[in-house]
Amino acid sequence: MLSNSYSDFILELYADYRIEQVSAKRMINCNGKKRGAIPEAVVLNY
């Protein structure tokens, strides 16, 4: 199992595996209005 940003590149890279989208809370951003939940990919090989 691994997690990474939810992007087209990651989806293509791990296309042969099961991918679940989850929300991950991020508190670090130079723009305070953009802090919060972002989509993240969880890639599973089982």
Confidence class of residue 40 from pLDDT cuts 50, 70 and 90? very high
CA distance linking residue 31 with residue 16, whole number of Å: 35
CA 2 to chain centre: 10
pTM for the complete prediction?
0.76
Confidence class of residue 11 from pLDDT cuts 50, 70 and 90? very high
